[in-house]
Amino acid sequence: MSSELQVIHSEILQCTKCELHKSRTKAVPGEGPHDARIMFVGEGPGQNEDEQGRPFVGAAGKFLTELLESIGLKRSDVFITNIVKCRPPNNRAPKKSEIEACNPYLQSQIRLINPSIVCALGTPAITTLIGDEYSASRFHGKPLTKGKITILPMYHPAAALYDASLKETILHDFKILKQLLEREETLKPSTPKSADSSGAEQTLEKWV
């Protein structure tokens, strides 16, 4: 891990910027290579994550590992984090103020890791990274570009645990991720990202 990223993660572990620090067991900065090509951003830690200080270690994490393996990747290949780094009480949705307090950490992680692709898992992550008008149900599997980064909105893996019919949809969206990776490998670093043949990829304002 780069020294700058280590500093950010140390700050997260001691953070008291919002009320979530009062009820957490452990903050969960995230984990993965400091130069990962792919970054996954979920909503927030659950009970298992809060206890272990690691992201996606419960049932949704197991499914995420299976999804990665379905396209030939391992957890150790990607960086995994959340929009909030502490567990909301009773797994409630994070409040806007909590997301805003934590967002500078997420933006710093994205800047330092500089991934090619950011997978936004679930509507809270999607709206945080792209905008309030975006949702998982409407935009899953439709890549967008923001500066030099491709953002791929997806359903959160936990959604398939509550609605089994979404499993095939999520598996299909991971195939789109694989296609994005394969396409990236054929492009030179100086070549701008362009829309795919289906026209699904859109261009957003540059990353802020």
The confidence score (pLDDT) of residue 154 equals 98
At 33, list the tokens: 């290579």
C-beta separation of 119 from 142 below 8 A = no
C-beta separation of 183 from 196 below 8 A = yes
C-beta separation of 149 from 48 below 8 A = no
Query: Does the residue 192 lie in any domain?
Result: no
CATH at 126? 3.40.470.10
Q: Could you tell me which of 182, 186, 157, 159 has the C-alpha nearest to residue 38?
A: 182
What domain range includes position 157? 3-185
End-to-end C-alpha distance for the chain, whole angstroms: 23
Query: Does the residue 83 lie in any domain?
Result: yes
With 0.85 as the threshold, say if the pTM is over it: yes
Query: Does the residue 12 lie in any domain?
Result: yes
Q: Is the pLDDT of residue 2 over 90?
A: no
Instruction: Tell me the pLDDT of the chain averaged across its residues.
Output: 91
Per-residue pLDDT tens digits for 15-28: 999 999 999 999 99
What whole-number distance in Å separates Cα of residue 18 and Cα of residue 88? Answer: 11
Share of the chain above pLDDT 90, in %: 87
- When pLDDT is averaged across residues 67-81 and rounded to a whole number, the result is 98
- With bands split at pLDDT 50, 70 and 90, how would you rate the model's confidence at 191? very low
Q: Which residues are CB-neighbours of 32 under 8 A, at least 6 positions away?
A: 39, 75, 76, 77, 78, 79, 80, 113
Query: Does the residue 202 lie in any domain?
Result: no
Indicate the number of domains in the chain.
1
Query: Does the residue 116 lie in any domain?
Result: yes
Query: Does the residue 45 lie in any domain?
Result: yes
Per-residue pLDDT tens digits for 166-175: 999 999 999 9
Query: Does the residue 48 lie in any domain?
Result: yes
Query: Does the residue 170 lie in any domain?
Result: yes
